[in-house]
Structure 1
Amino acid sequence: MTTTLDFNPMVSPHREDPHLFYREARQGPPRLSPTLGVYMVTRYEDLRTVIDDPQTYSSKAALPLIFANPPEVTDVLRAGGVAETPMVVNEDEPEHLPIRRVFDAGFTGARVRAMLPTMRARADELIDGFTDGSAELVGGYAVPFVQTVISAIIGFPPEDTARIQAWTDDVNTLWNVLSPLEARVAAAHGLVDYTRYLQAVIDDRRANPREDLVSDLVHGANGHPGLADEYVHNIVRGAARVAGFDTTRDAITATLLVMLENDGVRERVLADPARTIPKLTEEALRRDAPHRGLFRITTRDTHLGGADLPAGTPLLLLFGSGNRDETVFPGPDAVDLDRPNVRDHLAFGRGLHVCPGAPMARAEIRVALETLIRRLPELRLADGYEPTYIASYFFRGLERLDVRW
């Protein structure tokens, strides 16, 4: 068994279909990807072992730090006043818990229920704008739908959506070690502007708190005090805006694609949406987890799945592979709406760092699908449509989803 097995989700063939690679990778122990410079964890039980043992597998490297970029990038950040602070997803205990408790306040059941009218109104508004019996549901539906929801949760005004999205793309670029240097330098300038904008929002909420995430972070929640401004910046621009947008956008379109590619599934959804959409959502999350996974680093010498890993070994947890592990999910490539263990999937992670926005994301998926099938029961894939996927280090998402009715 070789000790290396390369993976690059930015290019063919892994960009189009990483599952062929995942299937091969699961046949052996964690192995090094020379392109990514990390050991890839692909089997479900190995992933569970890592997630459930934060003492051995630290989250300090869960996401790349923007200040790990080359000097040409970090010089721009420092000159622009961007603070160098860790993100909540990169924190271990005991530092993690008080930050996470404040963050969780933004995604309570009450907050989810309060957002439902906004979700339904935005979905209807977008469908009202469809013409000629056809639409493209990534840019024309999922993107603006999720942008509206996440902006309302965070506390961003709707009129700032376009520039906030551009800055969010800059954050993704700075995390991506495979991005060209010139793109990262340009993104650093964007992040300087984003930092100034966010600071103005933070200052306003300190003086004028509202029912939004920024206010929760600034003033505190769940019995914990408010966070330092630097942490608010990192949570808003990363864990909230990036994770809350990209993953939910891709989960909506992945769920729609499963429904539209499978006539039997589509008929079940149309016949009983209230019962079937939650099942479809979980099976789609399992089959195509919208987030590839996070990083860990070993704190001591350890043995994982047949591999000896010295202290300091970087790992990439590939949740999308674990979710199709045939030893846990029989017939993993099939669509099975009645899969008994479907909610054991790892699309939202688990343990200390399980996604706090999972209930909100599930609600967004449900409302997006319910509204579409109610308004457009004849929805079909466009003739000749073939799915293609974005070039992304972290996310698994459709470039387009062309439909007709």
Structure 2
Amino acid sequence: MSDTTTERTTYPVDAFDPLEPDTMQNPHPWNQTLRAEAPVHFVASRGMWFVTSRELVTEALTNHEVFSSAFGVPQLPPPESVAAEVAAIAAEGWPPVPTLLTADPPEHHYYRRMVAKAFTPRFVAQREAAIHAIVEDLAQQLPIGTPVEFVSAFAAPLPLRIIAHTLNVPDDRIDDFKRWSDQFALTIGAEIDEAGALEQARSLLEYQRYFADQLEQRRTAPQDDLITGLVQASEVGDGDEPLSTGAALSIIQQILIAGNETSTKLMTGMLYQLAEQPKWWDWLRESPAERAAAVVEEGLRFLTPVQSMFRITKADVTLGDTTIPAGSMVVLNFGSANRDETQFVEPEEFDPLRTNAKNHLAFSAGIHACLGAPLARLQARIALANLAGRFRTVQFGPDNDFAYEPSFMLRGFTRLSLVFEAD
């Protein structure tokens, strides 16, 4: 098994609580029960409907007219005791603008079109040399024969430095970049205390002020980066209005979370699987460049770093055998859909030879399918191929607890100790 275990042996549907600590550590038995007994299930204590089967998650994703993405923000709200203070801090910056993740057509189509103009296949391809250099630098620093904490040494700095390069963030601001990213992710499917909520609000304001200044600089001094692409997107094609500063800040924030947190969790989870099942490390090492892609696709299916996403219903809707009332908060559970027994043979097994692994929903589907998927796949393939070509074995270090971040939406280890051995 790839997950921490709990003492629970039964998983009654009515006892399901997505925010219960043990459930966040190992949601898979709950998901199995929900898929079998209640693939559309209302969790009254949280006011959320959970959709867990592959068929019904896909049906909802492709029905954006009813399953609206205009749900606000994916973060859980701050404690009421500091809500006013958090709002006062936020008022000093730019109000949130629903763009990619939290907008419906036609607004969503406009924002997606603008990002697509900047984030082109050519732009992604031009990052490949830089990705190779970043991977090589990080891999060279991994010690041989002694334990290393893989998240902080490799899995976290890898996407962080790649996104920083993409946005042209200078080296002396990367620590800030990391801190902002961590703060944004804290309340995605998780709760924090009063002090944490205030710190998060201050970090968001700091982030906004920094990137608002960068956007203004690009308007007069363009560079070869994604910020310039966003600023200039309206000049390409069909007479779109320029992005507002607030909208551009929202988009950059989503890129930062989607590209950093998820890639870190994917890379860490894949190395866990390869250390736990050495046969797959040996298989990968036989032809790293050719086989890395298969490991990445199965990793995306099996791990699903973005476990779920919200929707809100605009009308009463019947999904499967269940009617969901209008105005309901719905959680589409990608992690469960990606382990659906009707879609995947032995779905609880990590198997890079799986022929239909690419049928996963790790990048969502429909009009909200992730624009950054090509870059995420590229960096993961390059990183895996480099590590497999460099190290003969990868094993667990002596001090692992295999604990996951306390979130039902973003899933990944808090830390992972590994030992690499060279030829």
Which TM class, normalised by the smaller chain length?
Answer: over 0.9
Query: By how many angstroms is 1:7 displaced?
Result: 2.6
Q: Give per-residue Cα distances to partners, 1:331-374, cap 9 Å, x unaligned.
A: 10112222222111000001100010001000111111111122
For structure 1, list consecutive stretches of 5 or more residues without a partner in the other structure.
none
The secondary structure found in structure 2 opposite 1:90 is: coil
Cα gap change, 1:349 to 1:366, in 2 (>3 Å): same
Check 1:263–1:119 CA distance in 2 against 1; reply closer, same or farther (3 A cut): same
| Aligned CA distance change for structure 1 residues 4 and 56 (closer, same or farther; 3 Å) | farther
Q: Does 1:190 align with 2:203?
A: yes
Q: Could you tell me how far apart the structure 1 residues matched to 2:76 and 2:406 are?
A: 20
Alignment-derived partner of residue 96 in structure 2: 84
Per-residue deviation, 1:177: 6.0
* 177-186 or 146-155: bigger deviation: 177-186
Mapped to 2, the partners of 1:284 and 1:230 lie a distance apart of 35
Residue 171 in 1 paired to residue 181 in 2?
no
Instruction: Check conservation: 2:78, 2:192, Cα contact below 8 A.
Output: no
Amino acid corresponding to residue 29 of structure 1 in structure 2:
P
Displaced runs of 4 or more, over 6 A: 65-69
Q: CA RMSD in A?
A: 2.3
Extract unaligned runs of 5+ from structure 2: 1-11
Q: Does the 8 Å contact 2:190/2:407 carry over to 1? A: no
* Structure 1 residues 270 and 173: CA distance shift in structure 2, 3 A: closer
Q: Which residue is 1:230 aligned to?
A: 246
The residue aligned with 1:315 is 330
What does 1:2-401 correspond to in 2, within 5 Å? 4-9=14-19, 11=21, 13-27=22-36, 28-61=38-71, 63-64=73-74, 70=80, 71-131=83-143, 133-134=145-146, 135-173=148-186, 175=188, 178-220=191-233, 222-223=236-237, 224-237=240-253, 239-383=254-398, 385=400, 387-401=402-416
- In the aligned structure 1, how far is the partner of 2:186 from the partner of 2:207? 14
Conserved? CA contact 2:190–2:406, under 8 Å: no
Secondary structure class of the residue paired with 2:330: strand
For 1:291, the aligned partner's letter is V
Going from structure 1 to structure 2, the CA distance change for 1:129 and 1:337 (only over 3 Å counts) comes to closer
Query: Aligned equivalents of 1:208 and 1:83: distance in 2?
Result: 26
Q: Which moved more, 1:136-145 or 1:178-187?
A: 178-187
Name the amino acid aligned to 1:286. Answer: R
* TM-score, length of structure 2 as denominator length: 0.89
* 2:196 aligned partner, one-letter code: A
Instruction: Kindly state the Cα deviation for residue 386 of structure 1 after the two structures are TM-superposed.
Output: 5.2
Identical residues among aligned pairs (%):
27
Q: Secondary structure at the match of 2:24?
A: coil
| Range 350-359 or range 258-267, more displaced | 258-267
Check conservation: 2:76, 2:189, Cα contact below 8 A: no
The separation in 1 between residues aligned to 2:397 and 2:90, in whole angstroms, is 48
Deviates more, 1:96-105 or 1:81-90: 81-90
Contact 2:301–2:361, Cα closer than 8 Å, also in 1: yes
Look up the SS of the partner of 1:193 in the other structure.
helix
Kindly tell me: are residues 73 and 37 of structure 1, through their superposed partners in 2, closer, same or farther at Cα, counting changes over 3 Å?
Answer: farther
**How far apart are 1:22 and its partner, in Å?**
0.9
Change (3 A) 1:340 1:175: closer
- TM-superposed CA distance for 1:280, in Å, is 1.1
Tell me which amino acid in the other structure corresponds to 2:46: L
CA distance, structure 2, for counterparts of residue 174 and residue 382 of structure 1: 30
Question: CA separation of 1:139/1:388 partners in 2, compared to 1, >3 Å: closer, same or farther?
Answer: same
- The CA distance in 2 between the partners of 1:299 and 1:5, in whole Å, is 28
The answer to which of 375-384 and 322-331 deviates more is: 375-384
**Paired amino acid for 1:212:** D
Distance 1:403 1:295 in 2: 34
**Distance of 2:346 and 2:13 partners within structure 1:** 28
Contact 1:73/1:188, CA 8 A, preserved across alignment:
no
Of 54-63 and 103-112, deviating more is 103-112
Q: Distance in 1 between matches of 2:416 and 2:183?
A: 24
The separation in 1 between residues aligned to 2:107 and 2:79, in whole angstroms, is 24
Q: Give CA-to-partner distance per residue, 1:13-64, whole Å, 9 cap, x none.
A: 2222111111111121311224532111111101011001111111111743
In 1: Cα distance, 2:247 partner to 2:75 partner: 13
